[in-house]
Structure formats: C-alpha cells, structure tokens
Amino acid sequence: MPRTLPFFLILITIYILYPTGGVAAEPGITAAGVRGGFQATPRKKYFHQYEAFARFGLPWEWRFDEIGIAPQIELSAGNLHSNGKDGFIGSLGPNLNLDFFDRKLDLVLGINLLYIMERSYDGQDFGNNLMFGAHIGLDYLLFSGLKAGYRFQHMSLNKILYDHNRPNPGLDMHMFSLSWQF
C-alpha cells in the first residue's frame, strides 16, 4: 500500500500539468426558451407543465474532435396544472451538456431542486413543496440559433422529507422545448 501513494501522486501531477482539451469557456447565459409537456405515467390526476427556462454556462468546456462537454446551471419558472388547479413550479440545478456534430445535437443530463407552490392537486399529494428532479433530453439545431428539444423528467422526494409509511408520489413528464442558443 505505501508504494502506491507515490505512484498516484505522480499520476495526479502529470494530469494537472499535461495539457488537455479543456478550455476556458465564456460564462453567462447560453440558452433561453420555453418548454411544455404532459404526464408520462398513469396517475390519479392528469398533469401538464409549462415553463420558461434559461441555461447559464460555467467557465469550463472540453472539446474532443466532434464532441463537446460543458457544465451548465439551469433555472426555470412555470406552471404545473391538473384538473383546473394551477400552481407555480420552479427549479434550479446543474446540467451536463454533451454536444455532437458541430453543436447540432445536444444530449442534456441534469438534476435539480424543485419548488412547487401547491403540494396537493385534488387528492394527489406530493408530500412536500420541495422536491428533487432529474432529466435527460436531446436538443436539435433547426437553424441559426433555434433549437427544438425533448426531455424526459422525473420529480419526487425519493423518500426524503416524506413520511416513510406512505408511497413516494413522484411525477414523470414528457417535455418539448424551443430555445435560442447564444
């Protein structure tokens, strides 16, 4: 075991000093748009969601031939609707954006913290106003800076902040978007 420590120190030093494909990216807003969708899985109530969103680039980006990797922060605010009841929904969290084919196609993965104004929708109780979310999606460049996208998203408490004697009432959504890339 003691012989492995110098080996790992040498590897870490080489990694730090060796130039990689990473470059300093310009931080700031990278995309803004609108997104809407509907419930993906059966529930007692039927849900729709509509929101505006913005993505902010962080000061890192890595390019490898035709593939790019960039961390981002995404912020959204909108409306969650079910059976005549509306409530604010907002989210904030990190994304990992992988772009392909000269930035024409993006694979976007993310997690976020969500706030829903209405914790209960006509018998569908989510258990808390704070929830966790995860999503995976694709954005495709239509022309110039306009992108169309699809994402599958899940939100739930994952048994955190919720009574463990009751089931975890998560919500899965199919979401479609139009956004402008800056």
- Run of H or E including 127: none
Q: What is the pLDDT of residue 178?
A: 98
Query: What is the dihedral angle through the alpha carbons of 90, 88, 167, 170, rounded to the nearest 10 degrees?
Result: -50
Rounded-to-integer distance, Cα 158 and Cα 149, Å: 27
Rounded-to-integer distance, Cα 98 and Cα 61, Å: 10
Rounded-to-integer distance, Cα 97 and Cα 107, Å: 6
Q: What is the pLDDT of residue 154?
A: 95
Strands 61-64 and 47-57: unpaired
CATH topology of domain 25-181: Porin (2.40.160)
The letter for the amino acid at 109 is L
Q: What is the pLDDT of residue 16?
A: 52
> pLDDT tens per residue, the chain (182 residues)?
456 656 666 666 665 555 455 566 778 999 999 999 999 987 677 899 999 999 999 988 988 888 999 999 999 999 999 988 999 999 999 999 999 988 899 999 999 999 999 888 877 888 788 899 999 999 999 999 999 999 999 998 876 666 666 667 789 999 999 999 98
Q: What is the pLDDT of residue 1?
A: 47
Q: What is the pTM of this model?
A: 0.82
Q: What is the pLDDT of residue 23?
A: 67
